[in-house]
């Protein structure tokens, strides 16, 4: 029983790491866009209003994905620890 719980914890932690990397890549794409499209005054320029809205959505998506990944990592760690105690 404990071994199965430990394996489930490890699986959740692995999924959390994969999702965290995905969120970091989204965030890197947002930061790259900001770097490449920053004016001398420090303002990020956009082609039109819709592209600025998409940029904000990408920022929010990156934060959500990273937050969800952290949640999975914490849950996986607790399940892993519980499995070790039961084992």
List the structure tokens of 59. Answer: 């920022």
- Mind listing the pLDDT tens digit for each residue in 22-47? 999 999 999 999 999 999 999 999 99
Enter the pTM of the model: 0.88
In this predicted model, what pLDDT tens digit does every residue of 42-65 receive, in sequence order?
999 999 999 999 999 999 999 999
CB of 19 closer than 8 Å to CB of 69 = yes
Instruction: Please list the residues that pair with 44 across neighbouring strands.
Output: 38
pLDDT at 31: 97
Answer whether residue 87 shows pLDDT above 90: no
* For the chain, domain boundaries: 2-86
């Amino acid at each position: 029983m404990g071994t199965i719980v430990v394996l489930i914890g490890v699986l959740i932690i692995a999924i959390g790491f994969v999702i965290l990397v995905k969120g970091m890549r989204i965030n890197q794409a947002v930061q790259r866009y900001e770097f490449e499209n920053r004016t001398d005054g420090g303002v990020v320029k956009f082609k039109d209003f819709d592209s600025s809205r998409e940029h904000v959505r990408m920022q929010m998506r990156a934060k959500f994905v990273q937050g969800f990944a952290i949640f999975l990592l914490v849950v996986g760690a607790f399940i892993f620890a519980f499995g070790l105690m039961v084992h």
